[in-house]
Amino acid sequence: MDTTLLLVSLIVVVALIFDYINGFHDAANSVATIVATRVLTPFQAVLWAAFFNFVAAIPLFLGNEAGVAATVGKGMVKIELVTQYVILAGLVGAIAWNLFTWFYGIPSSSSHALIGGYAGAAMMKVAMTDGPARIMDAIVLQGWLTTMAFIIIAPTIGLVLGYALMVAVYWLFRNSSPQRMDHWFRRLQLVSSGLFSFSHGSNDAQKTIGIITSVLVASGYLKTFHVQWWVVLAAFSAIALGTMSGGWRIVHTMGGRLTRLKPRGGFCAETAGAIAILFPTYLKIPVSTTHVITGAIAGVGSIQRMKAVRWGLATNILWAWILTLPMSALVGALTFALVHLLTGKV
């Protein structure tokens, strides 16, 4: 078998493994609220979330542009500098950080782990070929400025919408008993959970699509950055299967420890989170579903009193967010250096 084809096949498999890990790592984002409110059992919830993760592929098959995929694939790192080894090292960096945070039950961002690992590997390549002083030549500044801005904007949108929706719900149902409210919202939460899972799939699966398409361009199998149908099918299948595998350590943190939720709160958090993800997806901006749903849950929890949110835990989560980009970039850079040491390739 051709060596290049073998290497590309390996990288595609690793990318899909990342996508699968993304699914079970971020399963908590999709199912934590609906499990915490006991609307569905954990097993029912992951099946529900996985279905809508996969359904999110339909707009791409109908001809919609994979804008987030293009941003990740060529809008963060200069595509002309990307090689198969850069992508492989970046994926290893992302997977390593995802598994580390999953093991400790920390809801960090798979999206930023991928972007960080990818950038770290590209910067190490430039450092080796052009010198350390030129490492910033590897990145597309505009893409990074937008993505970094949405690290703050996206969870803030989730928080504000979560709070606003809770205010609206309490006003609309001001003459209803809590039991009657929960009777309706237990059913409505099925809709909101499905919508959030759809938004999760629509943004997160495209990141893997962008990475796989990049390696096809770097290897010469594609002349331009154009997403193939089989890449879409493989990426959405992998993330859906990963979601079905669950991620119960993080479900426990997100669904029970950050704040206590009732069905009406779960509905508001999921709806706010879905809107806060679909908006940047429309703008072709990769965002963290973890950041968004955390903000939305905090917004919902703070409607009664600020102490209803465990802000100490929220602070620990914030530190994980801050560390994700540099740590995954470091692992990606070190992996690229190791690959170069072993193979002499860049």
Return the H-helix or E-strand segment holding 23.
helix 3-25
List the beta bridge partners of residue 139: 77
With the C-alpha atoms ordered 271, 34, 291, 120, is the resulting torsion angle positive or negative?
negative
Distance CA 39, CA 36 (A): 8
161 contacts: CB under 8 Å, gap ≥ 6:
271, 272, 275, 276, 296, 299
278 pLDDT band, cuts 50/70/90, is very high
Distance CA 331, CA 329 (A): 5
Tell me, rounded to whole angstroms, the distance of Cα 167 from its chain centroid: 28
Q: What percent of the chain has pLDDT over 70?
A: 87
Distance CA 110, CA 328 (A): 10
Distance CA 187, CA 218 (A): 48
Q: Among residues 137, 118, 89, which one has the least CA distance to residue 324? A: 118
Higher pLDDT, 108 or 211: 211
Determine whether 278 is exposed, middle or buried from the number of CB atoms within 10 Å of its CB (0-12, 13-18, 19+).
middle
Distance CA 269, CA 34 (A): 10
Q: What is the mean pLDDT of the chain?
A: 84
Determine whether 6 is exposed, middle or buried from the number of CB atoms within 10 Å of its CB (0-12, 13-18, 19+).
exposed
List the beta bridge partners of residue 77: 139
pLDDT given for residue 310 in this prediction: 55
pLDDT in tens, 192-220: 989 998 998 999 899 999 999 999 998 88
pLDDT in tens, 29-70: 667 667 766 777 777 877 888 899 999 999 998 878 888 999
- Is residue 308 pLDDT above 70, yes or no? no
Q: Calculate mean pLDDT across residues 165-184.
A: 85
- Is residue 258 pLDDT above 80, yes or no? no
Residue ranges of domains in the chain:
3-341
Return the H-helix or E-strand segment holding 327.
helix 311-343
- Is residue 154 pLDDT above 70, yes or no? yes
Q: What percent of the chain has pLDDT over 90?
A: 35
- Is residue 18 pLDDT above 70, yes or no? yes
254 pLDDT band, cuts 50/70/90, is very low
